[in-house]
Amino acid sequence: MIPRALTWSSDARRLRILDQRLLPERVVERELCTIDEVDEALRTLAVRGAPAIGVAAALGVIAAFARAGVPDRAALLAALDRLAGARPTAVNLPWAMARLRRVVIVAEANLLDALAAEAERILAEDIAMCDAIGRHGQGLLPDGARVLTHCNAGALATAGIGTALAPVYTASAAGRRVEVIACETRPLLQGSRITAWELSAAGIPVTVCTDSMAAALMREGRLDLVLVGADRIAANGDIANKIGTYGHAVAAHHHGLPFYVAAPSSTIDASLFGGASIPIERRDADEVRRVGGQVVAPPDVPVENPAFDITPASLISAIVTDRGVFRPPYRFVEAP
């Protein structure tokens, strides 16, 4: 079975998430009941992945205000603004909050019902988006494909079957043999902790490697393609994804391997021409200084900890969205 990042009860208006900070050692679900709890879950990566945080924030607003009685419009708008800024790089979060903001502004009656309907549309669209990416992208994976991926862009990063892993799941369901090599993804190890756990639970063959091993595996002919997600895509096809993605793209280009990106169309930010304009989230230095509570760097040495990097469109073989497969030059306004 493919694990789920979150579950939503539409009648009780309750949101539960799988706390991904604790994987793979512990599998713990949490109910998010307040805006503080939703905000904390987003910022600390208890729920993570561009599509999942947009969905979780939207549903979390409904869950929180369902317990607060008649919602106050000013309080709702303040909550939406607060959550929109919790993770600055992923465009899906402010996109989802903007959709709820429009409802707050225009709804005349039954405000919470109207908000819940919009949040549930966001949830349904995300599930359908994942399925569409799987259908469009599965043709990029031949039988026996050995796929390198980075970070987690699977079911645990969405409300459905994932973005970068959706073609893997769809191809496997169609009877094709697919093997995934998951980079560990320093500093928070989303690849080894989350991707490997998710794929193992779903019955997909997976091997973990350190980030620094990927280029050597390419040179040895042990990989066929790279498939990653994206937290934001600029109008020219540049992408922001988990730090380390750019290095894999450079190595894939050098070794003549296809480098594919899979992401929802909502990730495309047409307001930004290129990747240089994408804001990059910078996180706490202790995420690098410590691994599993163990200090691995001197406390007085400066640390760099950008959460994302930019991969230019010139290194990307194709971008798979729910609207189809786009190839360079990237023009997202028209259908592919």
The average confidence (pLDDT) of the chain is: 95
Question: Phi then psi for 37, rounded to 5 degrees?
Answer: -70, -40
**pLDDT bracket for residue 172 (50, 70, 90):** very high
pLDDT at 215 over 70: yes
Same domain as 179, residue 120? no
> Residue 250 is which amino acid?
V
CATH code of the domain containing 175: 3.40.50.10470
As for how many domains the chain has, the answer is 2
Active site residues: 231
For 230-245, write each residue's pLDDT tens digit.
Answer: 999 999 999 999 999 9
- Residue ranges making up the domain that contains 57: 6-131
pLDDT at 8 over 60: yes
Same domain as 164, residue 90? no
Same domain as 82, residue 18? yes
CATH code of the domain containing 56: 1.20.120.420
Q: Which of 239, 203, 218, 200 is CA-nearest to residue 148?
A: 218
For 289-313, write each residue's pLDDT tens digit.
Answer: 999 889 999 999 999 999 999 999 9
Same domain as 205, residue 293? yes
Same domain as 152, residue 35? no
CA 212 centroid distance within chain: 22
When pLDDT is averaged across residues 221-234 and rounded to a whole number, the result is 97
When pLDDT is averaged across residues 180-192 and rounded to a whole number, the result is 97
pLDDT at 69 over 60: yes
Q: In what order do the strands lie in the sheet with 225-228?
A: 206-209, 178-183, 145-149, 225-228, 259-262, 318-321, 324-326
Task: Report yes or no: 278 and 238 within 8 Å, Cβ to Cβ.
Answer: yes
For 266-283, write each residue's pLDDT tens digit.
Answer: 899 999 999 999 999 999
Among the candidates 114, 131, 148, a domain finishes at: 131
Percent of the chain with pLDDT over 70: 98
For 72-115, write each residue's pLDDT tens digit.
Answer: 899 999 999 999 999 988 888 999 999 999 999 998 888 999 99
Percent of the chain with pLDDT over 90: 91
Same domain as 113, residue 262? no
Residue 333's pLDDT is 64
Same domain as 186, residue 165? yes
Q: How many CB atoms lie within 10 A of CB 10?
A: 13
pLDDT at 336 over 50: no
Domain annotation covers residue 156:
yes
